[in-house]
Amino acid sequence: MGGKFFTLNYIDITRTSLALNYIDVTRTFLALHYMDITRAFLAQNYIDITRTFLALNYIDIIRTFLALNYIDITRMFLALNYIDLTRTFLALNYIDLSRTFLALNYMDITRAFLALNYIDITRTFLALNYIDITRTFVALNCIDVTRTPLALNYIDITRTCRALNYIDITRTFLALNYIDITRTFLALNYIDITITFLPLNYIDITRPFLALNYIDITRTFLALNYIDITRKFVALNYIDITRNVLTLNFIDITRNFLTLNYIDITRNLLALNYIDITRKFLTLNYICITRTVLTLNYIDITRKSLTLNYIDIIRTFLTLN
């Protein structure tokens, strides 16, 4: 079950088991090279409690299993290079409690799973480069509670999910460059509560989705350059409550949506240059309550709307141009 060792090279090639209960309690080692090639098993309950190690290179290539309950409690390590290539599983319940590591380079390439309940509670790491390429899942309930990285470059390329309930509570990070390329999902209920970060450059390229209810509560950031390129969605109810921005340059290029009810309550920003190029929408009810801008240059090029009811209550700004 467990072992402690010091080795120059460690290779765990294959574990194959058919078990009612599988528990991998502890693996603690110091290794120059660590490779865990394949773990394939069928189990009613799987628990991987602790893995703690210091390694120059760590590669966990494949984990494939079918389990009724899967719990991965803790992974803590210090590594120069970390690559987690593939995790594929079918589970009724999946819980990944903690991953904490310090790495120069971290790549989590693919996680694909089918789960009735998915909970990813905490991921905390310090990395020079962080790339989270793909997360694809079908789940009745998905909860991604906290992600807190400190990284020079952070790229979150794709999140694709079909879920009845999806909650992404907090993302907090300090990064020189942040790029969130695509978020695509089909969900009955989606809640993105807080995104707080301090980057030099922030780019949010595309978020297309179909949702019965969408709530984006707070986005607060300090950025030298902010670009929000495209948001396209079809939604019964859309609420964008608060955006607070302190930035040298802010560009909001396009928002296209078809919605029954749209409410944009508050936008407060301090910007040297602010450009809002195009907003086109078809909606039964549109309410834009407050926009407050302090800026050197403000340009609002085009707003086109076909709506039964449109209410724009207050626009207040102080600008040189």
Predicted confidence at residue 80, as pLDDT, reads 81
Nearest residue to 47 (alpha-carbon basis) of 20, 14, 28: 20
Q: What is the mean pLDDT of residues 80-104?
A: 76
Which pLDDT value is given to residue 1?
A: 39
pLDDT at 4 (0 to 100): 56
Q: CB neighbours (10 Å) of residue 69?
A: 16
Give the tens place of pLDDT for each residue, 218-255: 777 777 887 877 777 787 887 878 777 787 887 777 77
pLDDT at position 2 is 44
pLDDT for position 12: 67
pLDDT in tens, 154-175: 777 777 777 777 777 777 777 7
| pLDDT at residue 7 in the model | 66
List the one residue out of 295, 292, 300 whose CA is nearest residue 316. 292
* Predicted confidence (pLDDT) per residue in 29-81, tens digit: 777 777 777 767 677 887 777 777 777 887 777 767 677 887 777 777 777 87
Query: In the predicted model, what is the mean pLDDT of residues 279-307?
Result: 76
Q: Tell me the pTM.
A: 0.58
* Burial label, 309 (beta-carbon count in 10 A; 0-12, 13-18, 19+): exposed
Tell me the pLDDT band of 138, cut-offs 50, 70 and 90: confident
- Residue 116 pLDDT: 79
Burial, 34: exposed, middle or buried (Cβ in 10 Å; 0-12, 13-18, 19+)?
Answer: buried
Listed residue (45, 128, 20, 36) closest to 80, CA to CA? 128
